[in-house]
Amino acid sequence: MKYEPLKGKVYHIPEKGINVFLYSSVKSAVRGLLQEIENRIKELDRYEQIGFTKRFYINCTNRRDEIETCIIPLIKKWFADVVEE
């Protein structure tokens, strides 16, 4: 499935003076973001398997761990109603 970012998908409700996004638009954007992060993790795993230098490996490991343990859980926490497990 092709996910789309929220860019250009805001709706203005003049009576209430607010801007809103459709649930389906937010859900698509969040899923797309999570997919890109997961793709980055896989890319770092490939670099590690190829056998880059120890310094590069340490940097990749730290970044991958940060993505897996911090970034993804935060996104899932803040968009819990949008992201389904």
Residue 5 lies in a domain: no
pLDDT tier, 16 (very low <50, low <70, confident <90, very high otherwise) = very high
Residue 4 lies in a domain: no
pLDDT at 66: 75
Task: Give the span between the Cα atoms of 57 and 79, in whole angstroms.
Answer: 31
CA angle, 72 then 24 then 22, to 5°: 110
- Count the domains in the chain: 1
What is the rounded average pLDDT of the residues 15-28? 90
pTM of the full structure = 0.66
Domain span at residue 71 reads 10-78
Q: pLDDT for 39-68, tens place per residue?
A: 878 877 777 777 765 566 566 667 777 788
SS3 call for 47: helix
